Amino acid sequence: MISLAGRDILHAWGKFAFTGVGLGLLIGVTLSMAGVYRGMVDDGKALLDNSGADLWVVQQDTLGPYAESSSLADDAYRGILTMPGVAAAANVTYLTMQVRKGERDVRAMVVGIAPALRGVAPGWPPYLVAGRQITRSHYEAVADVSSGFALGDRLAIRRSQYTVVGLTRRMVSSSGDPMVFIPLKDAQEAQFLKDNDAIWQSRRRSEANPSFNRPGVPGLFDAVIASQSSNASVNAVLVTLKPGQAPDVVAESIRRWKRLTVYTRAQMEGILVGKLIATSSRQIGMFLVILAIVSATIVAFIIYSLTMDKIREIAVLKLIGTRNRTIAAMIMQQAVALGLIGFAVGKISATFAVPIFPKYVLLTPLDALAGLFVVLVICVLASLVSIRMALKVDPAEAIGG
Amino acid sequence: MSDYGIRIEGLRKRYGKGDTAVDALKDVNMQVAPGEVVGLIGPSGSGKSTLLKSLGAVIEPSAGRMVLGEQVIYDDGWKVRDLRALRRDKIGFVFQAPYLIPFLDVTDNVALLPMLAGVANAQARARALELLTALDVQHRARAMPSQLSGGEQQRVAIARGLVNRPPVILADEPTAPLDSVRAMAVIRILNDMARTYETAIIVVTHDEKIIPTFKRIYHIRDGVTHEEAGEGRAFA
Amino acid sequence: MQGRTVALLAVVIPLLMLLGYVALHSGPLAPIAVTVTTVRAQALAPALYGIGTVDARYTYKIGTTFAGRLQRLDVDVGDRVLAGQVLGEMAPVDLDDRVRAQESTVKRAQAALREAEARQAYARAQLARYRQLLVAGLISEEVVATRQQELQIADAVFAAAREDIARARSDREALLAQRGDLRLITPVDGVVALRAADPGTTIIAGQTVLEVIEPANVWVNVRFDQGSAGGLVAGLPAHIELRSRGGQPLPGRVVRVEPMADAVTEEMLAKVVFDAQPAAMPPIGELAEVTVQLPALAAAPVVPNAALRRIGNQTGVWQLVDGDLHFTAVQIGAADLDGQVQVRDGLQVGDQVIVYSEKLLAAHSTIHVVERIPGAPR
């Protein structure tokens, strides 16, 4: 027996190929959309992975430092270091802001990383793609490649110029902004010292305030200014644990004795995925459902019109004794073949489209498999209408009826 | 080989029920011997279409008896179970238009029927090629139907009708779109094939050009057949 | 049919190959691009990096010890002044009148002295006359004794009058001294760095009116992060890069490491002076980046700091052994500012280590070694 579906496809392969490519692009969009969601989740996880922490210590009763702002004294880490089970604790600041380079500015998450005593500390970029880690305690930066900065670039963050000495990859905030790592002290200053105008104004306000600027107390005003223009806060303390320590136990003891809020990795992931990108993910889920419906409709329509084009042939086939099963198989095989072509084109186009997206898009093999399964199910379901039509064709129609 | 390719006795067909019932076929009797080509002529509304469908085992007659070769198809309400297989194996169809399957090449168009019957592909193709050779279109064996001329298409259609060696072939206006020369050629082929393959051929037509060629003609009027002798003129 | 099949294969096979390529070379199944370097023995010249502000070594805050109004101020910020130069003056108010009154007091005391002198001379003459009379026996002893006493009184009055003059003079000198203190005088040659008040301002005692610094005596007050200030001692050579003169480091050296570190900012403080004073004095308070050169170390295996990874609490490197990844914990030593780190323990010279990677590596990652991570600009 020859494959009727195969022969038909071969005969009308141009039409079939174009239809397949069209469907494929639609599937590509669907896969990319799923990839966008995965990318968002992965951005969140990358943020956590890259921080290299087991625990996040933040301001009491906040969801900081990513989902909410949090502020801690920068010497709080000393106390945390003394807690049993804690191996390392490092201050870190996060501030999303515009980073300028010449005329251009890039929205970035500026991460202030504590100086490392030996090698790399929690919060440091865990791997680089070019350049080196920060060695000076001021005015050096490691930027993510997605920011478009290159080694040796001079960046302006607030009032200071930073030299890019290293580049990372996939170091992004939960909203996909590239990270720029700078030394903690600079970051604290950047977080607090807005700009020169603001400093001048605040200085003038203090100067006008008689209780700060008393004629009888020389030096008071200077002290006030000094205290105003320094910042002793950080956003979080990243904690790593000694081997074999249960994160929950250590977290509980810090919570209890240090009166700070502590999140474990699992909780942090819950906050990021559950709270930060929950709405976006629902949005994308909605899109996926719509795209699936559109795809199904299109496949159904294509198969239906392909079948309707062949209705006379089907009548002839039935008249000359072709079994219903054979005809149904022909239509279903065509639908599945269309689905497979579409999937292949979609997968390929989605993969090649990934680098074009401004934000990270992650295509996982599991998603692709699920997509393939869904496409096939949709194709089979969509072909059912056509099969029903074909089976209702009266073979007598072939006889001049 | 039996005496008759097809024998029909007292075939009746009633559409609908009660007051609105219409008798499309009232009394049809036909006998066609293997190797014989008969004409079936009738005006519109005479029941010709219904008869053709009944002969083609597409619709079931209400009463009467029909025998194909030695197989009883209908007998007063009884019928063969698998009409589809019956159509495939025992009846050849040749239509007004060739109705070839556009996505199969000439060989496979012909070989499809044996294949559907479960014959191995190579064997079915060999059989098809044999018939195509007999019909002198073997040189187009690998062509697609759309690449053939009308006459070639019709010959392929005839080959398809013959490929399962059915006892009877129903030809529905096989010459309608053709000029007289080509029409005659088709009739000659049908006659040749009827003889060669010992098949009874019923040609449904109202083509004046070819009516004179039949030795026997069945007229159908108001659902009743009348047999009469034809001119049996030799074809040009 | 043959041609058709070939055409179909020509479409389907590349499609399938592309699909296979796409499935294997993107996403999690794709091998991770890494770059590899060989551990070399290298003598590091470590350096310390800190930032600080330009500061005057000595600042002379000039003011008065009395409250009063500022009468005049002759110099402005930036003016060069010489030691002893009068820079300004406080309003004397009634001080001059009081000096004049004191002068009158002196004169009056001198008059009183002259009167006492006259009385003393008369008393002395009287006593001499009466003594002769006593010798002649003309008067009694008692009369002579009276004259004696009168002379003694005149002597005392004379002495008192003399001391009165000295007192009046001293009072006047005290007032004059006070008057002199109203002048603002610089103790050193220098430059006026600050002018805190203008004439007419009322100044309280002890308030600074002018600040004078010595331009030849500026240094940089540098802060070094405690964690990376090992080896900081006085005498080390340094490069000072002033904000306003970026790219032109000036040579200098550490003169003092402060015995008191800053506990709040976790920094060590040091003073760095210029080897040669810059021709134009840098403004006090200008930010300066200081690199202190530590003595070069003996050659030791070094890796780039980009190769260091942290897994759990171990710092180490991904080592490439026969094409397989191995995480090797290392003990690291000194580092230089160019990102080279000495490895004290864990690696040998000639070992292959991963420097850059496209993704986070794990022991089971599949890798492919490249010259440069794709997508990373040079």
> C339 to chain A: which residues are within 8 Å by CB?
131-133, 135, 165
**Per-residue pLDDT at A57:** 92
- Dump pLDDT digits (tens) for A212-270: 777 667 678 878 877 777 778 889 999 988 888 888 999 999 888 888 999 998 898 88
DSSP-derived 3-state class of residue A50: helix
A135, C49 in Cβ contact below 8 A?
A: yes
- A294 touching C (Cβ < 8 Å): no
Tokens of A49: 């992975």
- In chain A, residues with a C-beta closer than 8 Å to the C-beta of C358 are 129, 169
- Mean pLDDT for A300-313 is 85
Please give the Cα distance from A137 to C224 (Å, whole number): 8
pLDDT at A221: 80
Confidence at C238, pLDDT banded by 50, 70, 90: very high
Residue A399 is predicted with a pLDDT of 67
Structure confidence at residue A367 (pLDDT): 84
Residues of chain C contacting A344 with CB distance shorter than 8 Å: 15-16, 18-19
Closest CB to A364: pick one of C18, C28, C305: C28
Q: In angstroms, rounded to a whole number, what is the distance separating the alpha carbons of residues C30 and C367?
A: 9
Is residue A215 within 8 Å of residue A28, measured between CB atoms?
no
Q: List beta partners, residue A262.
A: A57
Whether C220 and C272 have beta carbons less than 8 Å apart is answered as yes
Dihedral-angle region of residue B47 (phi above 0 means left; psi in -120 to 50 means alpha; beta otherwise): left
Instruction: Give the closest-approach CA distance of B91 to chain A in angstroms.
Output: 8
- Cβ contact A13–C304 (<8 Å): no
Beta strands in A242-311 (DSSP E): 261-264
C31-64 pLDDT tens trace: 888 888 999 888 888 888 888 899 888 889 888 8
How far off is chain C from A161, nearest CA to CA, in Å?
A: 10
Residue B179 lies in a domain: yes
Q: How far apart are CA A128 and CA A171, in angstroms?
A: 10
Pairing of strands C287-293, C300-304: unpaired
Residue C279 or residue B157, greater confidence: B157
Amino acid letter, residue C23 = A
Domain ranges, residue B98: 6-229
Calpha distance A30→A340 (Å, rounded)? 15
**Largest Cα–Cα separation, chain C:** 185
C292, containing H or E segment: strand C287-293
Rounded CA separation A399/A320 (Å): 11
Q: What is the pLDDT of residue C119?
A: 92
A145/chain C closest Cα distance in angstroms: 6
Q: Does A117 touch chain C (CB under 8 A)?
A: yes
Residue B105 has pLDDT above 80, yes or no: yes
For the ranges A26-30, A286-290, C8-12, C154-158, the lowest mean pLDDT is seen at C8-12
**CA-CA distances (angstroms) from residue C90 to B130, C22, C50, C64, C82?**
135, 87, 44, 8, 20
Whether residue B235 lies inside any domain: the answer is: no
Phi, psi of B26 (to 5 degrees): -110, -45
Nearest CB partner across the interface for A8, out of B56, B103, B172: B103
Phi, psi for C354 (deg, rounded to 5): -80, 130
Q: What is the DSSP letter of B140?
A: G
- Residues A72-76 have a mean pLDDT of 87
Nearest residue to A319 via CA among B200, B91, B104, B166:
B91
User: Residue A255 — φ and ψ, nearest 5°?
Assistant: -55, -45
Which pLDDT score is estimated for C10? 78
Chosen from A319, A324, A330 to mutate, greatest number of chain B CBs within 10 A: A319
Our CA-based measurement puts residue C378 at a distance from the nearest CA of chain A, in whole angstroms, of 7
Element (H, E) at A65: none
Amino acid identity at B218: Y
d(CA A80, CA A69): 20
Tally of CA atoms within 13 A in the half-sphere of C158 that contains its CB: 16
Contacts of A322 in chain B (CB under 8 A): 84, 88, 116
Confidence of residue B1 (pLDDT cuts 50, 70, 90): very low
E strand or H helix at B200, and its extent? strand B200-204
CB contact under 8 A, C377 and A136: no
pTM reported for the whole predicted model: 0.72
The chain-wide mean pLDDT, for chain A, equals: 85
Q: Quickly count: other Cβ atoms within 10 Å of residue A96's Cβ.
A: 12
Identify the bridge partners of residue A233 per DSSP, sorted by sequence position.
Answer: A73
- Determine the distance from the C-alpha atom of residue C98 to the mean position of all C-alpha atoms in its chain, rounded to a whole number: 45
Give me the pLDDT at residue A83, please. 87
- What's the domain count of chain B? 1
Which CA distances in Å does B155 have to A142, B99, B182, C59?
A: 80, 12, 11, 119
Question: Least CB-CB distance to A319: which of B49, B93, B104?
Answer: B93
Which amino acid appears at position C101 of this protein? A
* Tokens, residue B74: 């209908």
Average confidence (pLDDT) over A3-17:
81
Pull the structure tokens for residue C100: 């004049």
Q: Can you give the pLDDT at residue A165?
A: 93
Q: Which residues of A149-164 are buried (b: 16+ CB within 10 A; e: fewer)?
A: bbbebebebbebebeb
Q: Domain containing B154 — which CATH number?
A: 3.40.50.300
What the block records as the tokens of B181 is 């020369």
Chain A residues in contact with chain B using a Cβ-Cβ cutoff of 8 Å: 1-2, 4, 7-8, 10-12, 312-313, 316-323, 326, 394-396, 398-401
Within 8 A of B103 by CB-CB distance, chain A residues are 4, 7-8, 10-12, 313
How far is Cα B207 from Cα B228, in angstroms, rounded to an integer?
17
| C-beta atoms of C49 and A127 within 8 A | no
Residue with tokens 């209705």: A311
User: Rounded distance, CA A177 to CA C22, Å?
Assistant: 27
Residue C27 scores a pLDDT above 70: no
Task: Calculate how close chain C gets to A62, using CA atoms only, in Å.
Answer: 25
Q: Which helix or strand (DSSP H or E) is residue B233 part of?
A: none
First to last CA, chain C: 53
Residues of B in contact with A313 (CB under 8 A): 99, 101-103
pLDDT in tens, A27-38: 888 888 888 888
Percent residues over pLDDT 90 in chain A: 8
pLDDT at C114: 93
Q: List b or e across C349-362, with b for residues whose CB sees 16 or more CB atoms inside 10 angstroms.
A: eebbbbbbbbbbbe
List Cβ neighbours of A204 (8 Å cut-off, separation of 6 or more).
none
Cα A131 from chain centroid? 25
Residue type, A189: E
| C142-182: pLDDT as tens digits | 888 999 999 999 999 999 999 999 999 999 999 888 888 88
CB-nearest to A137 from C16, C49, C373 is C49
Each residue of B201-230: pLDDT tens digit? 998 888 888 888 888 899 988 888 888 887
If one compares A31 and C227, the residue with the highest pLDDT of the two is A31
The answer to whether A124 faces chain C, any CB pair under 8 Å, is yes
Whether the Cβ atoms of residue C314 and residue C330 lie closer than 8 Å to each other:
no
Window A:168-207, CB contacts with C under 8 Å: 169-170, 185
The rounded distance, in Å, linking the Cα atoms of A386 and A302 is: 10
Segment B117-144 shows an average pLDDT of: 87
Q: Which residue has the higher pLDDT, A20 or A64?
A: A20
pLDDT band at residue A401 under the 50/70/90 scheme? very low
Compute the distance between CA of residue B171 and CA of residue B84 in angstroms, rounded to an integer. 18
Measured CA to CA, the distance from residue B27 to residue B45 in angstroms comes to 15
The amino acid that residue A20 corresponds to is G
Nearest residue in chain C measured CA to CA from A53? C312
Residue A346, number of CB atoms within 10 A of its CB: 28
Domain assignment present for residue B161? The answer is: yes
| Contact across the interface for C309 and A169, Cβ inside 8 Å | no
Residues A74-83: what's their mean pLDDT?
A: 87
Chains touching A (3+ CB pairs < 8 Å): B, C
pLDDT bin (cut points 50, 70, 90) of residue C115 is: very high
Is position B183 within any domain? Answer: yes
Find the mean pLDDT for residues C259-264.
84
pLDDT tens for each residue of C329-355:
888 888 888 888 888 888 888 888 998
Nearest to B102 among A2, A313, A398 (CB): A313
Place of tokens 């680098």: A355
**Is B68 within the bounds of a domain?**
yes
The whole-angstrom separation of Cα C302 and Cα C341 is 5
CB-CB under 8 Å, C228 with A127 = no
Identify whether B236 is part of a domain: no
Question: What was the pLDDT predicted at C28?
Answer: 65
Q: What is the pLDDT of residues B8-36, one digit of tens each?
A: 888 888 888 878 888 888 888 888 888 88
Taking contacts as CB-CB distances below 8 angstroms, the residues of chain A near C310 are: 52, 119-122, 124, 126
Q: What is the pLDDT of residues A137-187, one digit of tens each?
A: 888 999 998 888 999 999 988 878 899 999 998 888 877 889 999 998 888
Residue of A nearest to B166 (CA): A320
Q: Given A10, A321, A401, which is nearest B88 (Cβ)? A: A321
A 32-51 → C contacts, CB under 8 A:
49-50
Alpha-carbon gap, residue A23 to A346, rounded angstroms: 8
What tokens does C357 get? 């990677």
Say how far apart CA A181 and CA A157 lie, in whole Å. Answer: 11
Nearest by CB to B87, which of A4, A7, A320?
A: A320
Please tell me the distance in Å from A313's CA to the nearest CA on chain B.
6
Higher pLDDT residue, B176 or A400? B176
Of C309, C313, C356, the CB nearest to A87: C313
Question: Residue B153: inside a domain, yes or no?
Answer: yes
Q: Quick check: is B234 in a domain?
A: no
Q: Which residues contact B145 (CB under 8 A, 6 or more apart)?
A: B98, B100, B101, B102, B104, B105, B106, B109, B153, B156
Using CA coordinates, name the residue in chain B closest to A322: B116
| Bond preceding residue A65 cis, omega within 30 of 0 | yes
A42-49: average pLDDT: 82
Determine the Cα–Cα distance for residues A102 and A332; give it in Å rounded to an integer: 60
Backbone angles phi, psi at A24, to 5 degrees: -60, -40
Cβ partners under 8 Å of residue B208, min gap 6? none
